[in-house]
Structure 1
Amino acid sequence: MNTKAATPTQTGALVGLARVSTDDQDLQLQLDALTAAGCIRIFDEKVSTRKKDRPGLAAALDYLRPGDTLVVWKLDRLGRSTKDVLIIAEDLHDQGIGLKILTGRLAGNYSPTGEGKFFFTMMAAFAELERDIIRERTIAGVQAARDRGQRLGRPPAMTPEQVEHARTLLTNPKNTVSSIARLLNVSRATIYKYVPELTQAPAAAAEELTA
C-alpha cells in the first residue's frame, strides 16, 4: 500500500536523528543515509527507546526551529510504540516542525494534522503491529522447536564422541591437554570444562592445569 500523507511546507533545515539500542550496534548506516538526505546537523544516541531518557532526541528537539524537518532513517528510530511516536510527532507539529522518514513502508514526509495525522496514526500502528507479529512468530517457532526436541541456543563446543575420545587419549601419559585440544580443534579450557575430572588428575594433564 502506498499512501501519501500530507506534506509540510519545508522552509528550514533538515536535521537528522540516528539511534541504535546498544553499544554493539553501528550508527554508520543511518549517519550515511541522513547525510545523503541533506541533513545539516545529525544527533545520535545509543539507547533503547524503552528508556525515558533520550539525550539525542532531546538535543535534536532543542535544536530544531519552526520550518525545520526532523529526519530519521526509519520510523522505529523515532520510537518503539505508536504512543511514543505520535507524542513526538505532535510535539514536532506544535512547533511547526515536519517529519521525514527515509526508508521502510512509511518512507515520506509527514504532517500530523488532518488527513496526514490519520494516515500517520494508522501507519505507526501497523508498524507496531508488525513488530508484535514478528515477536509472536519467534516465540511460537522457539516453542515448536522445543516440542520437537530440538536443542536451542549455541551448539556444544564438544560432542559426546569428542569427549569420549579426549578421555581415551588422556589415558596415555604422553598426551597432554594442549596436544589433545589441538587435535580436536578446541581450547584447553574447553577440554577442562567437558572433562572436569582432569582437575584431580595427577599426570601430565594436571601439570598443564597448574602451568
Structure 2
Amino acid sequence: MIAACKTTANLSNERGRVFGYVRLPTAEQEDSGKIRTQREQISAHVAAIGLGTLDRLFVDISGGHLPLAERPEGGLMMANLRSGDTVVALRLGRMFCSGQDAAQVVERFRDIGISLHLVDLGGEVTGNDTGRIFLIMAAGFAEMERERLRERVTEGKRRALAEGRHGGGAAPAGTRLERDPQGRIVVLLDTNVFLETHRILAEGISKGRSLRTMADDLKAHGVKASHVTVKKLLIRHGLTPVKK
C-alpha cells in the first residue's frame, strides 16, 4: 500500500528528496487515521529540520519480523534511493526488525550518501560513527524486547491451556465457549448465530455493502466483528469478499 505525493516515475528525476517511512502492525491493518497521524508527525519533523516538505510516504502493513528491504514498500523505497536523499521514520522498532537489519541498512545509506532520521532517537543517526553504533545497539534492544513479548504471550497461552482456560481473546464469531466434562474450555459452533451471520453476510454481498457496513450489521445483531473479521468470515462462509 502506498501513500504517495509523487508517482514512481518521478522518483528518478529529482535530487535531495525527502521520504517518510511507516510500518503498521498487521493487526492494525490499513488504519487511515494512524497513517494520517504519522504522516503529520513525520512532516512536522521534516519542516523542523529545514528540509521543506515530504515528497513521499511509504507505508508497509506487516509484522516486525521482515527486514526493511524485504517488505513491499520498504523494498521499493530502498531500490529508488540515491545520494542526497533523506529518509525519516518515527520509531526505530517500526523501521528495523533487528540490530543486523539496522546495521546493514545504515551502512548502505552511508555508502550511498543517504541521511536517516529516526524521531524517537532524536534525529539523524547516520551522521557519525557514534550515532551508527548507538542505533545498532538500540535496534538490538528493541529486537530483544519483541522476543520477550512473544515469549510472554506464548507462555500465557500455554499456562491458560494447562489450566483449562481459553487461550485468550473472545470466542470467534459464530461460536461460544463452554467447559467440557474435564473442565477444559472448548470452542463450540453456535448454530443459530452461525446461520444468522451467514444471512447477514449474504444479504450484504447481494446489496454491495462494504466490509465496515457488514461489521456494523453484525454488531447490531450481537456479533462482535471488525471489517477485517468480516473479510475472514466471508471466506469461511463460502461467500465472495467485497473489495471495500
Please state which band the TM-score falls in when normalised by the shorter chain: 0.5 to 0.7
Task: Indicate the structure (1 or 2) with the bigger Cα radius of gyration.
Answer: 1
Aligned amino acid, residue 29 of structure 2: D
Counterparts of 1:57 and 1:145, CA distance in 2:
37
Match of 1:146 among 146, 152, 161: 161
Shift of 1:113: 4.5
The runs of 4+ residues in structure 1 deviating greater than 4 Å are none
Aligned position for 1:50 = 66
Alignment gaps of 5+ in structure 2:
1-14, 47-53, 180-189, 197-244
Match of 2:119 among 73, 87, 102: 102
Counterparts of 1:110 and 1:31, CA distance in 2:
20
Q: Secondary structure at the match of 1:157?
A: strand
Counterparts of 2:195 and 2:72, CA distance in 1:
47
Shift of 1:130: 0.9
Contact 1:112 1:120 in 2 (8 A): no
> Measured at CA, do residues 96 and 158 of structure 1 come closer, stay the same or move farther in structure 2, by a change above 3 Å?
closer
Aligned amino acid, residue 140 of structure 2: A
Deviations 1:27-59 (A, max 9, x none): 333323223333232222334552764342233
> Measured at CA, do residues 93 and 157 of structure 1 come closer, stay the same or move farther in structure 2, by a change above 3 Å?
same
Aligned amino acid, residue 117 of structure 1: R
Counterparts of 2:178 and 2:158, CA distance in 1:
24
Match of 1:30 among 38, 44, 50: 38
**1:93 equivalenced with 2:110 (yes/no):** yes
Counterparts of 1:136 and 1:159, CA distance in 2:
27
Aligned position for 1:16 = 20
Alignment gaps of 5+ in structure 1:
1-10, 161-185, 193-211
Shift of 1:60: 2.3
Contact 2:20 2:42 in 1 (8 A): yes
Q: Which region of structure 1 is more displaced relative to structure 2, 44-53 or 126-135?
A: 44-53
Q: Which region of structure 1 is more displaced relative to structure 2, 118-127 or 58-67?
A: 58-67
> Measured at CA, do residues 142 and 107 of structure 1 come closer, stay the same or move farther in structure 2, by a change above 3 Å?
farther
Contact 1:112 1:118 in 2 (8 A): no
Counterparts of 1:88 and 1:24, CA distance in 2:
25
Aligned position for 1:80 = 97
Q: How many residues align?
A: 155
Shift of 1:62: 4.2
Contact 1:34 1:42 in 2 (8 A): no
Counterparts of 1:58 and 1:76, CA distance in 2:
17
Counterparts of 2:138 and 2:56, CA distance in 1:
27
Identity of paired residues, percent? 28
C-alpha RMSD of matched pairs (Å)? 3.2
Higher relative contact order (CA 8 A, sep 6+): 1
